[in-house]
Amino acid sequence: MNRAIASNFHKPISASPETVYAVLRQFESRERLVESLEALGVDDRVVSSHRIELVPRRASGYSLVWKLAGDCRAEITWTALVRPAGYGAGSLLSIRVTATAPDARSRTQLLAAWPVLGQLAEQHARRTLGAVAELADRFEQREKAVVVPVLRKAS
């Protein structure tokens, strides 16, 4: 059986689900990951990467195909889901990291590389959670600050 390796990361955010999803759609964390891989000098291991549209207005993600030793490959997917945290309580942003390999040989290579690849995948998920939370809270505060009540003189 060629099971996936999966980890889940969650962050409560005070901003509304609509605001969090809008920020998530605009935030290009994939480019930040590529920059990190370039800085490490391992960007040549990326075979391909692409954005994934899952559930409109609720989830998005992207996938990266990683070249392993001996012409083996693995796919690492980051999937972000925004849900309401409760009545008027903001949002919950969840990121699921999944790593899969197409065959037994590739899975063996993936498991051997996972102590390093897993840390990279986890840190990227945590960085994305933190950045989206901060930007969503800032955006929502700015939107609320724009609404100025007009006081009218009593007649």
pLDDT exceeds cutoff 60 at 147: no
Instruction: Specify the pLDDT at position 67.
Output: 92
Within a domain: residue 124? yes
Within a domain: residue 25? yes
Mean pLDDT of the region 5-20: 92
Tell me: the pLDDT tens digits for 39-48? Answer: 888 878 888 8
pTM of the shown model: 0.81
The single-letter DSSP state of residue 26 is: H
Instruction: Specify the pLDDT at position 140.
Output: 74
CATH value at residue 49: 3.30.530
Within a domain: residue 95? yes
Instruction: Specify the pLDDT at position 1.
Output: 54
CA distances from 34 to 44, 64, 98, 111 (A): 10, 10, 18, 22
Look-up of token digits 């796919």: 75
SS3 112: helix
Within a domain: residue 147? no
Domains in the chain, number: 1
Tell me: the pLDDT tens digits for 27-69? Answer: 777 777 878 888 888 878 888 877 776 666 677 888 889 899 8
Structural domain that includes position 97: 5-142
